[in-house]
Amino acid sequence: MIYNLSYILVTRNRLPFLKITLQHLIDTLLTDEEIVVVDGNSTDGSKEYLQSLFDDRKIQQFISEPDENQAHGWNKAMLMARGVLIKKIIDDDVFCYSAIRACKQYMLQNSQVDVVISNDLSSSINDHKHIDKNSRLPQFEKWRNGLVPSFTFGDVHMLIRRASLAHIGLYNISYIMMDWEYSLRISFLKANIAFYTGYNALNVGHLQSVTSSRNIQLVKQQAKRAQVFYEYAGDRAQISFYSKIKIWMGKTYFRAKNLKTASTVPDLPVGTQLQEIYFAYYQKLEEVNSAGEWQFIS
């Protein structure tokens, strides 16, 4: 089977999010697309749930085994992908598949393009009615015009041409903020990047996200190293707005935990409430994309 697009997803012990995200993707999957899932040896029922989907042929590829870290898992998934293009799907974020497929068609029609990125939305799950619009277009245009050698962007809205991996490479497993380093690297290597002015993703921040518990001091140390290596002077946004939200929430959580006042930290919605929040997110993302006329800039 020849696939034009591989959706890759890496997960570990995040079953409530995983079920919502995968069901939405499965319901809209096209015949020239595949779903590749790498599970980090989950113990919360995710492994069994994914195995049942694989047995029923609702997902096309699946493995469950220990990994070194998130970057290691994503590298496995990229190497497993059989599609001409690769789209990363994060289990607790929201994606607009009509916008993703607009990017897919653009890349299939323009074989010289290595990567497409887009604008994105962001929100905190405990304030889900408040949604911010985010754009790295000014940074992209400065880079495209040769004013800076590299720039940063999040990978939640990125599509990659699989054949381009020989040029831009996989994730660096030694970096905590792997997408930050990856964006600097591929732009520094002068990958052919196009920008879609629509929104193909909505970032959802919450206190149980992977990013929220990361070592902030180590992130800063790695940022300094990458800034020198990729000649990145900074643009007052060393990491994405969404990542800053996640990190802030992580710091809040651990501070509360250390003070034994964790009860002040908002609980994560579960069950029907979680489903309703995500339904609203998907609806909002579709509404935003249907309200504008978007273009590709390369």
Q: What is the pLDDT of residues 193-240, one digit of tens each?
A: 999 999 999 999 877 655 544 567 777 777 788 888 899 987 654 445
Classify residue 39: in a domain, yes or no. Answer: no
- Say what the pLDDT of residue 209 is: 58
What are φ and ψ of residue 2, in 5° steps?
Answer: -100, 125
- Say what the pLDDT of residue 263 is: 44
- Say what the pLDDT of residue 253 is: 43
* Mean per-residue pLDDT, 233-249: 53
Classify residue 148: in a domain, yes or no. Answer: yes
Classify residue 162: in a domain, yes or no. Answer: yes
Classify residue 75: in a domain, yes or no. Answer: no
Range of the domain at 264: 92-297
Q: What is the pLDDT of residues 77-90, one digit of tens each?
A: 999 999 999 999 99
What are φ and ψ of residue 240, in 5° steps?
Answer: -65, 155
- Say what the pLDDT of residue 268 is: 76
- Say what the pLDDT of residue 211 is: 52
Q: Among 38-47, 117-126, 163-172, 218-227, where is mean pLDDT lowest?
A: 218-227
Confidence band of 261 (pLDDT split at 50, 70, 90)? very low
Classify residue 213: in a domain, yes or no. Answer: yes
Q: Is 265 left (phi over 0), alpha (psi -120 to 50) or beta?
A: beta
Classify residue 276: in a domain, yes or no. Answer: yes
- Say what the pLDDT of residue 258 is: 45
Q: How far apart are CA 97 and CA 91, in angstroms?
A: 14
Total domain count for the chain? 1
Is the pLDDT at 247 greater than 80? The verdict is no
- Burial of 113 (C-beta count, 10 Å sphere; 0-12/13-18/19+): buried
Classify residue 61: in a domain, yes or no. Answer: no
High-pLDDT (> 70) share of the chain, %: 86
Classify residue 166: in a domain, yes or no. Answer: yes
Is the pLDDT at 285 greater than 90? The verdict is yes
Confidence band of 109 (pLDDT split at 50, 70, 90)? very high
Q: Find all residues with CB under 8 Å of 49, minimum gap 6, and list them.
A: 15, 18, 19
High-pLDDT (> 90) share of the chain, %: 74
